[in-house]
């Protein structure tokens, strides 16, 4: 093996090590515990920051209604940094999963939307996952 080939192999090994370390770090930093506010009628700042807010918007010409979900209530926006971010948001309609988005740190923050046929739906439930502070939910009666 000449010097150039040796450098190429060393570079590949370094890249593989970096990728696997990043994947391991990501797995280790994912808190998947289900969280609930102590007093839902009187949430603390940290609870407001993680609780998804569901907003019903306009219906389109095909009968789908825009449902927006933002992680954070009361004007509080959850951070999106490499070490702390909302990694997914999902939406259930009457207990059935109808949409789930994964989110990347820094370039996106905890918000998403879905177009949903709401005609027969009674309850929407949004769920947000914070890599550090667990999984938070809120419901909205339609």
For binding to Fe ion (CB under 5 A), which residues are involved?
130, 132-133
Whichever of 1 and 107 has its CB closer to Fe ion, that residue is 107
Whichever of 88 and 115 has its CB closer to Fe ion, that residue is 88
Smallest distance from the beta carbon of 130 to Fe ion, in angstroms?
Answer: 3
Whichever of 8 and 29 has its CB closer to Fe ion, that residue is 29
Smallest distance from the beta carbon of 89 to Fe ion, in angstroms?
Answer: 13
Whichever of 89 and 130 has its CB closer to Fe ion, that residue is 130
Whichever of 116 and 130 has its CB closer to Fe ion, that residue is 130
Smallest distance from the beta carbon of 24 to Fe ion, in angstroms?
Answer: 21
Smallest distance from the beta carbon of 72 to Fe ion, in angstroms?
Answer: 10
Question: DSSP states of the chain as a string?
Answer: --HHHHHHHHHHHHHHHHHHHHHHHHHHT----B---SSTTS--HHHHHHSEEEEEEEE-TTSPEEEEEEE-STT-----BTTB-EEEEEEEETTEEEEEEE--TTTS-SEEEEEE--TT--EEEEEEEETTTEEEEEEEE-
Question: Which residue number places its CB atom closest to Fe ion?
Answer: 130
| CA-angle at 20, arms to 2 and 31, nearest 5° | 170
Smallest distance from the beta carbon of 132 to Fe ion, in angstroms?
Answer: 5
């Amino acid at each position: 093996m000449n010097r150039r080939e040796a450098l190429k192999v060393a570079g590949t090994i370094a890249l593989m090590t970096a990728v696997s370390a990043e994947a391991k770090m990501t797995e280790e930093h994912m808190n998947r515990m289900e969280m609930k506010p102590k007093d839902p009628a009187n949430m603390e700042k940290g609870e407001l920051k993680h609780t998804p807010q569901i907003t019903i918007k306009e219906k389109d010409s095909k009968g789908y209604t825009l449902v927006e979900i933002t992680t954070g209530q009361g004007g509080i926006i959850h951070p999106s940094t490499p070490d702390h971010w909302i990694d997914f948001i999902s939406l259930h309609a009457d207990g059935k999963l109808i949409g789930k988005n994964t989110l990347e740190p820094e370039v996106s923050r905890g918000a998403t939307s879905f177009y949903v046929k709401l005609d027969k739906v009674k309850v929407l439930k949004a769920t947000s996952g914070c890599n550090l502070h667990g999984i938070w939910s809120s419901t909205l009666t339609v």
